[in-house]
C-alpha cells in the first residue's frame, strides 16, 4: 500500500501514453506545439510493466490518458495487457479521450473490460468545435461518443468552462447530456503551460456556472465521491449528476489519492507542482520489480500537500511550465 506523508492512500494512477494529439485545443496547447521525439517514450511493454507494478502496490483504478491516448500506435495492446488485471487487483481500467478514434475502438475497449469512459467535449456547435480544437472533426467525435454509448460504456462528458466561448452553451450541454444519459463534469481551466494567450481571458469560475445552472434547474448537493477531485450535484429535471472540478476556486487536494506518470516515465506526485521521479531509469536498469517499487515508495513520501495555482485579475498567474497534455487529465 502506498501512503503519503499526509496519510492519503494512493489508489489511483493516470498513465499518459503519449504527449501527441490530433487536436490542438486552445486552452491546452499552442497551435505549433513541440512534441517529444518518439524515441524518448516508454514502450508499451514498459508502460504495462509499470501499470502492473502499481497494481501490485495497491492501486485499484488506472486511467490511460495523454495527449490523445488512442492515437498511439498499437495502444490496444496496452489496454489488453493491463485489462488482464481487472478483478485481479485492479478494480477499474478507464481512459480520457477526445473521442476522435472511438468509432474504431469503442467495441474493443468494452470487450477488454472498460466500463466507464471520460470524453472531452466543450461545445455542441460544429464551427465552435473547430475554433476550440483547431483540428477536430465534430461529426466524427459525435459518432465516437454514440459508439461508446452503444457499446455499453458509461459515458462522462468533460467540459472546460471557457469565458465568452462556451458559457452560453452550459444549459444546452446539460440538457443534451441528460437526454443521452451521460454524466457531465465542468472543469476550471488551469494555468498549465504557455498557450500564447493570457489565462484570465479564458478563465470562467465554476461558481458562475453553478449560479447559471441554479437559475434554470433544481440542483441538490449529491454526496457521491468517486475518489476524484469533483464534487457533484444532482439535477432534478434531467436526472443526472453534474460534477464540478474547481482547482482554482476550491482546492480539493486534501482528498487527493493519485499520482501521474508521463509517457517518458516521469512520475508527478502532484499535477500542479514540478517535483517528479524518474521511473524510466530503474525500469530499464533492473528486471527486478522490487527495485522499481522501492523508488516509487520513496517518491510517494515527497507527495506535497497540494497545488497552488493562481489566475487573478492582476494577471499574476502562478502556473506550471508543462502543458496538461504532458501529464494528462
Residues engaged in binding ligand SAM (CB under 6 A): 21, 27-28, 65-68, 96-98, 120, 158, 160, 187, 189-190, 192, 324-325, 328-329
CA dist 280 to 22, 61, 294, Å?
A: 26, 22, 14
Q: Using the rule CB under 6 A, is 202 a contact of ligand SF4?
A: no
Q: Which residue is nearest to ligand SAM (CB)?
A: 329
- Residues shown for the chain: 329
Sign of CA dihedral 26, 29, 32, 38: negative
Strands of 135-247, DSSP E = 154-161, 183-188, 219-222, 231-235, 240-245
Q: Closest separation between CB of residue 26 and ligand SF4, Å? A: 9
Question: Among residues 21 and 270, whose Cβ is nearest to ligand SF4?
Answer: 21
- Among 2, 21, 76, 90, the residue binding ligand SF4 under the rule CB under 6 A is 21
Selection from ligand SAM, ligand SF4, none that 189 binds (CB < 5 to 8 A by kind) is ligand SAM
User: How do 240-245 and 231-235 pair as beta strands?
Assistant: antiparallel
Give which of ligand SAM, ligand SF4, none residue 44 binds (C-beta under 5 to 8 Å, depending on kind): none
Residue 67 as a binder of ligand SF4 (CB under 6 A): the answer is yes
CA distances, 16 to each of 249, 263, 268, 306, 327 (Å): 26, 5, 11, 21, 6
By C-beta, is 33 or 219 nearer to ligand SF4? Answer: 33
Q: Considering the complex, what minimum distance in angstroms separates the CB of residue 131 from ligand SAM?
A: 15
Q: Contacts with ligand SF4 in 97-136 (CB under 6 A)?
A: 98, 120
How far is 14 from 263, CA to CA, in rounded Å? 11
- SS3 call for 304: coil
Q: Burial code of 53-68, b = ≥16 C-beta within 10 A, e = fewer?
A: bbbebebbbbbbbbbb
Provide the minimum distance between the beta carbon of 225 and ligand SF4 in the complex, in angstroms, as a whole number. Answer: 25
CB of 100 to ligand SF4, least distance (A): 8
Of residues 191, 262, 319, 189, the one with CA closest to residue 35: 262
Q: CB of residue 193 vs ligand SF4: minimum separation in angstroms?
A: 10
Smaller CB distance to ligand SAM: residue 192 or 300? 192
233 in contact with ligand SF4 (CB under 6 A): no
**Considering only 18-26, 215-223, 247-255, 260-268, which stretch makes contact with ligand SF4 by CB under 6 A?**
18-26
The DSSP H or E segment spanning 178 is helix 170-179
> Which positions touch ligand SF4 (CB under 6 A)?
21, 23-25, 28-29, 66-68, 98, 120, 325
Amino acid at each position: 500500500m502506498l501512503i503519503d506523508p499526509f496519510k492519503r492512500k494512493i489508489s489511483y494512477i493516470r498513465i499518459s501514453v503519449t504527449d501527441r494529439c490530433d487536436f490542438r485545443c486552445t486552452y491546452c496547447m499552442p497551435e505549433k506545439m513541440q512534441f517529444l521525439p518518439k524515441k524518448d517514450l516508454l514502450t508499451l511493454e514498459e508502460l504495462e510493466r509499470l501499470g502492473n507494478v502499481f497494481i501490485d502496490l495497491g492501486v485499484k483504478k488506472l486511467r490511460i490518458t495523454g495527449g490523445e491516448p488512442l492515437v498511439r500506435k498499437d495502444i490496444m495492446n496496452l489496454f489488453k495487457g493491463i485489462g488482464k488485471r481487472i478483478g485481479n487487483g485492479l478494480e477499474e481500467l478507464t481512459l480520457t479521450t477526445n473521442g476522435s478514434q472511438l468509432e474504431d475502438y469503442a467495441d474493443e475497449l468494452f470487450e477488454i473490460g472498460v466500463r466507464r469512459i471520460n470524453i472531452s467535449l466543450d461545445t455542441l456547435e460544429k464551427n465552435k468545435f473547430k475554433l476550440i480544437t483547431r483540428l477536430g472533426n465534430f461529426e466524427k467525435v459525435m459518432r465516437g461518443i454514440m459508439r461508446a454509448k452503444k457499446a455499453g460504456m458509461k459515458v462522462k462528458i468533460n467540459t472546460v468552462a471557457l469565458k465568452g466561448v462556451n458559457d452560453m452553451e452550459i444549459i444546452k450541454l446539460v440538457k443534451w447530456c441528460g437526454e443521452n444519459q451521460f454524466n457531465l463534469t465542468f472543469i476550471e481551466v488551469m494555468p498549465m503551460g504557455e498557450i500564447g494567450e493570457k489565462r484570465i481571458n479564458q478563465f470562467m469560475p465554476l461558481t458562475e456556472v453553478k449560479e447559471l445552472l441554479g437559475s434554470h434547474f433544481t440542483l441538490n448537493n449529491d454526496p457521491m465521491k468517486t475518489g476524484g477531485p469533483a464534487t457533484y450535484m444532482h439535477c432534478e429535471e434531467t436526472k443526472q449528476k453534474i460534477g464540478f472540478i474547481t482547482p482554482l476556486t476550491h482546492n480539493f487536494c486534501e482528498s487527493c489519492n493519485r499520482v501521474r506518470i508521463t509517457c517518458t516515465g516521469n512520475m508527478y506526485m502532484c499535477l500542479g507542482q514540478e517535483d517528479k521521479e524518474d521511473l524510466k531509469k530503474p525500469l530499464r536498469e533492473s528486471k527486478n520489480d522490487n527495485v522499481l517499487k522501492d523508488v516509487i515508495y520513496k517518491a510517494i513520501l515527497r507527495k506535497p500537500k497540494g497545488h497552488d495555482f493562481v489566475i487573478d485579475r492582476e494577471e499574476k498567474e502562478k502556473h506550471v511550465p508543462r502543458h496538461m497534455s504532458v501529464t494528462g487529465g
